[in-house]
Amino acid sequence: MYEYYVLFYLIISHKLDTKYDIRNTRNDIQEKEGCKTMELKEKNEVEETEKSSKEEMNEMINQSLEKFKKIKRGDIIKGQIMKVDEDGYLVDIQYKMEGHLPKNEKSLFSEKEETITHTLEIGDEVYLYVTNVDEKNGNVALSRERAKYFQIWEKLNEIYRKKEKINAEVIEKNSNGLIVNIGLRGFVPKSQIETKFIKDEDLDKYIGKKLDFVIIKLEKRENKVILSHRLIVEKERKVMYKKTLADLTVGQEKEGIITNITKFGAFVDIGGVEGLLHISEITWRDMKDATKLLKVRDKIKVKIIDFNKENKKISLSIKQFSPDPWKDVKEKYSIGDEVEGKVIKIKDFGAFVEIEEGLNGLLHISEMAWAYVNNPSEIVSEGEVLKLRIIEIDPEKRKISLGLKQLLDNPWEDVKKKYPVGSVVEGKITQVTSYGANVELEAGVSGVVHLSEIDWEYVEKPSAIFKKYMVLPLKVIKIDEDAHLIFLSRKRTLPNPWDDIDKFYKIDSIVKGKVIRVRDFGAFVKLDRGIEGFVPVSEIDWERIKHPSEILKKDKEYEFKLIKIDKEKLQLTLSKKRLLPDPWLEVQKKYAVGTLVEGKIVNLTDFGAFVNLEKNIDGLVPLSEISHKKIDNPESVLSVGEEVTALVIKLDSRRKKISLSIRRAEKEEQKRFMKDYNKKQSVDKILFKDLFGDMFDKK
């Protein structure tokens, strides 16, 4: 810049010297010659010279100033560091004055208010932003941080307009997506990362990776740049999708990447196209959880086993790279062979055993031991290796039946001789259940004591009598050779209170007992001597009740009438209502057949009308007994709440029902009226027919 000042100085000095020389020459001539003519001539020459010099000087100054383009606030210019001091840098900006760049600046690329310290040296060339121009004081304020900021935004705008892709590094994650370094902080929402949904825990794998993105939104005011990697992936996948589908055929082998794992299998990307690797096609083994062998993003080799061109569905397989173990199963194994297998799963009905990869057999619970087995886990455990015998092979159904007990001695061959029905044996309780107890008589021979065979008295919980590992005498009551089970009884080893039941209980006798159980169908009553009686719900009260608990309460004592003794079923039937007067006897007297009664209609049905005679006593008028005329519906002649007179035509003592007739009641009333009338008039010759004959003739 100093050379320009020197240039100006030389130009101006040169012109001034020329002017002074001309003036001196003019003075000399005047002095020597004193010629007025010459003075005029010289004067003209001087004026022309001065004029020419001014024009040349102005032209040269203008040419020099053209090199100094006018700068203003907001310009981005290139400058060179000329001097470094504590306050900052003196910068040559190719202008009539130098610029000043502060050493420290506020960062425009950080969310927090951070300060940037420049580390520049003399001679470094940098782009700078003009923040202020002070012509009077010869000051130009500069900013390197703003220059970077505006240059980046200009570049981003250009990329956005041209829809170009940008390669950038993922530097952070947050709950909503990824942060990318594009000169400033760009944001990639989770929905714009991949074509698939991305879980929070999967975001970590992207940090540190460089990926291609497209800008989908720019907000300079808010300093926001929204990016998408998904659009790049989708575009690439479209190209791959068309190419892969065009070349795809069944039987092809493909390299693929697992994109998702579900309960029914895994989805594999085989080149822009996803195929389903069903869980049944992963291995010949029985598999329920694909994650045991596969992981998302694993690279695997698959075989195309089906391709539906219409719906673009592709089925894949891994297991078909190896032969089906069931194809030659009969060549490798025979019934009766002894094999070794690993227990892979235990069910209530048995255990599945793997003989070799993809070849499983079933060890049924009935084939585990000669004794009764309540639960397979009592005999085998998952992961255990067993020696077994093949008892059945069915290649078509892909089933092999295995046996464990066949390798053991069969104790049931002479069980009937050792444990005849009726004999008392000693057994050890191995398990107490809700229905009784399981008993071991010897190794391989077991029995069961049912709840009803524990004691002559009712036992609610078997654990109240039996304890595990208890040894006690039991009576053999039945042997089931097919099920390999002996039915035992504890109570039959005890004195039977039913042997002399007739001595203590008689029919129609009154007994006292405590209600111990109440059920919908009746109540159980504990009597003395440990005997239980049963009160049916129909024997609790003469009136109909919804539930026995309305009258009989648990743990309370009542008197009952013994109405039946059944020695075979070991049951005493009791009655409470028979200790009470039977209200039906009074009904029979009061409502004898032929009695005229009055009542109110309380219900109308398709088959007749119910008439309330008094509290808790109703009678039924059948449809045919309502009117002399034929009717299809009682409502055509009667209504609920109507008072009627009816004739009792039938009493059902067993069902406790009264049948009535309105139609016959009218005749009966007429008949009785005539009878009373004849008595009063002493006229014996007047007949019922004579007075009401017309009525019967019409019919």
Q: What is the mean pLDDT of residues 141-167?
A: 89
* Whether residue 223 has pLDDT greater than 90: no
Which is it for strands 274-278 and 253-262: parallel, antiparallel or unpaired? unpaired
pLDDT, tens digit (0-9, with 9 covering 90-100), for 612-643: 998 878 999 999 999 888 888 999 999 999 99
Q: What is the mean pLDDT of residues 191-208?
A: 88
Percent above pLDDT 70 for the chain: 87
* Whether residue 262 has pLDDT greater than 80: yes
181 strand-pairing partners: 169, 185
DSSP 106-175: E-SS-SS--EEE----TT-EEEEEEEEEETTTTEEEEEHHHHHHHHHHHHHHHHHHHT-EEEEEEEEEET
Q: What is the mean pLDDT of residues 577-585?
A: 87
pLDDT, tens digit (0-9, with 9 covering 90-100), for 488-546: 999 999 988 888 888 888 999 999 999 999 999 999 999 987 789 999 999 999 888 88
Residue 652 DSSP symbol: E
pTM of structure: 0.41
- 3-state DSSP percent of the chain in helix, strand and coil, to 5: 30, 35, 35
Residues 6+ apart with CB under 8 A from 429: 437, 438, 439, 466, 467, 468, 469, 470, 471, 472
**E strand intervals along 537-630:** 557-566, 571-575, 596-605, 608-614, 617-622
Q: Band the pLDDT of 690: cuts 50, 70, 90.
A: low
Rounded to whole angstroms, the Cα distance separating 266 from 416 reads: 57
Residue 482 phi/psi, 5° resolution? -65, -45
Q: ∠ CA 386-389-395 to the nearest 5 degrees?
A: 110
Contact 172, 110 (CB under 8 A): no
Q: Give the pair of three-digit tokens for residue 267.
A: 């989805």
Q: What is the mean pLDDT of residues 203-232?
A: 90
Residue 87 DSSP symbol: S
Q: Band the pLDDT of 18: cuts 50, 70, 90.
A: very low
pLDDT of residue 673: 75
Nearest partner of 439 among 490, 399, 393, 397, judged by Cα: 490
pLDDT of residue 35: 46
Nearest partner of 595 among 675, 659, 657, judged by Cα: 659
pLDDT, tens digit (0-9, with 9 covering 90-100), for 63-111: 554 555 678 888 888 999 999 988 899 999 888 888 999 988 887 777 6
pLDDT of residue 7: 42
Q: What is the mean pLDDT of residues 271-299?
A: 86
Q: Name the helix (H) or strand (E) containing 663.
A: helix 662-681
CA distances from 377 to 196, 389, 433, 620 (A): 43, 19, 16, 64
Q: What is the mean pLDDT of residues 232-261?
A: 85
pLDDT of residue 496: 86
pLDDT, tens digit (0-9, with 9 covering 90-100), for 334-362: 999 999 999 999 999 999 999 998 899 99
Rounded to whole angstroms, the Cα distance separating 171 from 137 reads: 45
Q: Name the helix (H) or strand (E) containing 52.
A: helix 36-66
pLDDT of residue 346: 93
Rounded to whole angstroms, the Cα distance separating 296 from 257 reads: 8
Rounded to whole angstroms, the Cα distance separating 691 from 670 reads: 10
Residue predicted with more confidence, 660 or 24: 660
Contact 362, 299 (CB under 8 A): no
pLDDT of residue 3: 43
Q: Give the pair of three-digit tokens for residue 210.
A: 């460089």
* Whether residue 388 has pLDDT greater than 90: yes
pLDDT of residue 13: 43
pLDDT of residue 499: 84
Three-state SS string over 333-375 comes to CCCCCEEEEEEEEEECCEEEEEEECCEEEEEEHHHCCCCCCCC
How far from chain centre, in Å, is Cα 261? Answer: 16
* Whether residue 200 has pLDDT greater than 70: yes
Residue given tokens 């399981």 in the structure block: 438
pLDDT of residue 5: 42
pLDDT of residue 57: 62
**What's the farthest any 2 CA atoms get from each other in the chain?**
206
Q: ∠ CA 204-210-214 to the nearest 5 degrees?
A: 105
* Whether residue 216 has pLDDT greater than 60: yes
For the CA atoms of the chain, what is the radius of gyration? 58
Residues 6+ apart with CB under 8 A from 375: 348, 365
Residue predicted with more confidence, 449 or 414: 449
Q: Residue type for 40, please? A: L
pLDDT, tens digit (0-9, with 9 covering 90-100), for 25-76: 445 544 545 445 555 665 666 566 666 666 666 565 555 545 556 788 888 8
pLDDT of residue 349: 94
Taking each continuous run of H as one helix and of E as one strand, the counts in the chain are 10, 37
Rounded to whole angstroms, the Cα distance separating 90 from 81 reads: 6
pLDDT, tens digit (0-9, with 9 covering 90-100), for 362-385: 999 989 988 778 899 989 999 999
Please state, rounded to an integer, the average pLDDT across all residues of the chain.
Answer: 84
Angle between helices 662-681 and 688-698 (to 10 degrees): 150
Nearest partner of 535 among 547, 546, 525, judged by Cα: 525
* Whether residue 23 has pLDDT greater than 60: no
* Whether residue 549 has pLDDT greater than 60: yes
pLDDT of residue 560: 95
pLDDT of residue 117: 86
